[in-house]
């Protein structure tokens, strides 16, 4: 499943060395530059297409997520990166007008097969959203909720141990250990986001999806989340959508650039940001548009 070389079509004046705004519609993408595959992937997407009614939002995307790696997805607003991320744990199932086809496999198992329970899938593929969304429950109950309903803790002692372990992995335990029965909604924005990460990892997922997890946070809270992402990579595969190219460069090992529903280029993060192979990727990274 090697990707073919990408091609670019645009008007000559778009490539003048000026600061003029580039019209995105002047670009045409044919194929993906770079190797979309990894050895022994945790998740593999092949020929994925997504429609919202008549709108073709994702176009023939092929992409692997490897074990113990952070894959960042970048691109301008409306390019399809969040739509693709939501396909990976079937969050798009909740949108009546959305149609998905192609193949997405988790450890070789088709996640869109009729026998796949979406609830069970979302235990294995967790999601952290753009805006922190703690439950209107205590800090303890926010983390305990998933393990309790899925029967992952056999008694109160094991549940308490799991909650503590999850909060420690999320880098939050020392800040909340004396306030576990206080509302999770009373925490700061950055703490709430780490609480949501603790809630996601409490059910022992294989993959964690993050949709712009730091966009509503201040720089200090963002730095804590980024440090946490690097630590979590030791035990999980992570796919993150971000508008911050600096963040993608800091936290990820591979980067995928999306443009108007096409996957334009995939590669090692250092290569994407220092020597992109596709003109469109270079123009985005250098600020021609965004």
Listed in sequence order, the residues at least 6 apart from 163 whose beta carbon sits closer than 8 Å to its beta carbon are 140, 143, 144, 147, 180, 202
The per-residue pLDDT for 29 is 58
Q: Are 67 and 237 in contact (CB under 8 A)?
A: yes
pLDDT surpassing 90 at residue 21? no
3 state SS for 199-220: HHHCCCCCEEEEECCCCCCCHH
Residue 290 banded pLDDT, cuts 50, 70, 90: low
pLDDT in tens, 184-194: 999 999 999 99
The per-residue pLDDT for 30 is 64
pLDDT surpassing 90 at residue 33? yes
The Cα 284–Cα 179 span in angstroms is: 45
pLDDT surpassing 80 at residue 1? no
The Cα 241–Cα 256 span in angstroms is: 10
For 45, other C-beta atoms within 10 Å of its C-beta total 22
CA neighbor of 94 nearest in space, from 83, 78, 104: 83
The per-residue pLDDT for 145 is 95
pLDDT surpassing 90 at residue 22? no
pLDDT, mean of residues 65-73: 97
The Cα 223–Cα 190 span in angstroms is: 10
Q: Strand pairing of 254-259 and 262-268?
A: antiparallel
Residue 100 banded pLDDT, cuts 50, 70, 90: very high
Choice among 32-46, 131-145, 276-290 with the minimum mean pLDDT? 276-290
Q: How far is the first Cα of the chain from the last one, in angstroms, to the nearest whole number?
A: 29
pLDDT surpassing 80 at residue 9? no
pLDDT surpassing 60 at residue 5? no
Long-range contacts of 116-124 (CB under 8 A, 24+ apart): 118/89, 118/90, 118/93, 121/89, 121/90, 122/89, 122/90, 122/91, 123/150, 123/203, 123/204, 123/205, 124/205, 124/206, 124/207
63: helix, coil or strand?
A: strand
In 119-244 the beta strands, taken as DSSP E runs, fall at 125-128, 207-211, 237-241
Q: Who wins on pLDDT, 288 or 141?
A: 141
Task: Give the CA dihedral 155, 161, 163, 166, nearest 10 degrees.
Answer: -140
pLDDT surpassing 70 at residue 92? yes
The per-residue pLDDT for 28 is 55
The per-residue pLDDT for 288 is 84
The per-residue pLDDT for 289 is 75
Mean pLDDT (the chain) is 90
- Calculate what percentage of the chain has a pLDDT beyond 90: 86
Residue 36 banded pLDDT, cuts 50, 70, 90: very high
pLDDT surpassing 60 at residue 6? no
pLDDT in tens, 202-230: 999 999 999 999 998 999 999 999 999 99
In 66-179 the beta strands, taken as DSSP E runs, fall at 70-74, 98-106, 109-110, 125-128
pLDDT in tens, 103-115: 999 999 999 999 9
The Cα 85–Cα 89 span in angstroms is: 8
The per-residue pLDDT for 7 is 40
The per-residue pLDDT for 216 is 86
Enter the DSSP assignment of 152.
-
C-alpha pair distances (Å), 199 with each of 133, 241, 251: 11, 19, 21
């Amino acid at each position: 499943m090697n990707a073919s070389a990408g091609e670019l079509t645009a008007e000559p004046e778009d490539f003048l060395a000026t600061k003029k705004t580039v019209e995105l519609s002047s670009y045409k993408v044919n194929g993906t530059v770079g190797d979309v595959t990894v050895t022994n992937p945790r998740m593999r997407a092949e020929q994925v297409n997504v429609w919202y009614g008549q709108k073709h939002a994702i176009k023939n995307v092929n992409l692997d997520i490897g074990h113990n790696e952070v894959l960042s997805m970048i691109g301008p607003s409306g390019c399809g990166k969040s739509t693709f991320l939501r396909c990976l744990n079937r969050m798009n199932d909740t949108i009546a007008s959305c149609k998905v086809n192609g193949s997405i496999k988790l450890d070789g198992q088709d996640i869109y097969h009729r026998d796949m329970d979406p609830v069970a899938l979302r235990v294995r593929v967790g999601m952290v959203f753009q805006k922190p969304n703690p439950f209107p429950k205590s800090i303890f109950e926010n983390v305990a909720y998933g393990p309790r309903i899925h029967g992952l803790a056999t008694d109160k002692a094991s549940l308490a141990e799991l909650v503590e372990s999850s909060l420690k992995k999320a880098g939050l335990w020392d800040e909340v250990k004396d306030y576990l029965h206080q509302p999770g909604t009373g925490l700061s924005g950055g703490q709430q986001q780490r609480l949501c990460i603790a809630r996601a990892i409490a059910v022992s997922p294989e993959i964690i999806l993050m949709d712009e997890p730091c966009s509503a946070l201040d720089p200090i809270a963002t730095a804590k989340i980024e440090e946490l992402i690097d630590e979590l990579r030791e035990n999980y595969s992570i796919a993150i959508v971000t508008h911050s190219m600096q963040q993608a460069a800091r936290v990820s090992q591979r980067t995928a650039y999306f443009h108007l529903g096409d996957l334009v280029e995939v590669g090692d993060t250092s290569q994407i940001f220092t020597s992109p192979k596709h003109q469109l990727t270079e123009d985005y990274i250098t600020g021609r548009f965004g």
